Every structure is written in structure tokens, then in C-alpha cells.
Amino acid sequence: MTIVVNVDVMLARRKIRSKELAEAVGITEQNLSILKTGKAKAIRFSTLDAICKYLDCQPGDVLEYLDEERL
């Protein structure tokens, strides 16, 4: 089971820098990096809410499920 975080894709689409998103969402750049590199073990709804609000997208645009067995 793998949940892939596609924040990078949304940042590129919206032409926003990571630092800008981190400041807007209220998390550190280090935490955003943890999210982008797939090291995060959990994400708070409040954080996901803030990301979607700032990037004007849906949770499904940021999070994707990939079944490793099927790949």
C-alpha cells in the first residue's frame, strides 16, 4: 500500500514555491520536504485543509493511492 503525495505537481501547476506554500500553510519547510519526499507517516486534516485552500485544489489532486502489488 502506498499513498503518494503530489504536492510537487500542484506547486508546478500553480507556479508556487515550496517556501511560499510552507509559510501559507503554517508548517516548516522541513515538514513540507518530509511530505514531498514521501517520508510522512500521517497528515493532519488541518494541514491538508490549508494546502487545498492555498493551492485551490481537492485532496485527490494532492494525494494518490498506488497499489504496489499491481505495479
Partner 1 sequence: MKKIQRVSRFFKWVFQIIFYILPITYIIFWINAPTPVFSTYGFILSFIPQGNMIVSTMLPTDTKLLAFVIGLIPLAVNLFILYFLVRLFRGFEKSEIFSKRNVGHIKWLGYTILIGQLLQPLYQALMSAALTWHNLPGTRVIEISFTGTNVGLVLTALLIILISWIMAEGQKLQEEQEYTV
State which residue, 9 or 22, has the beta carbon closest to partner 1.
Answer: 22
Which residues would be at the binding site for partner 1 (CB under 8 A)?
27, 31-32, 34-35, 39-44, 47
d(CA 42, CA 21): 18
Contact 59, 52 (CB under 8 A): yes
State which residue, 41 or 70, has the beta carbon closest to partner 1.
Answer: 41
Residue 36's Cβ-side half-sphere holds a number of Cα atoms within 13 Å equal to: 19
**Min dist. Cβ of residue 27 to partner 1 (A):** 6
State which residue, 32 or 55, has the beta carbon closest to partner 1.
Answer: 32
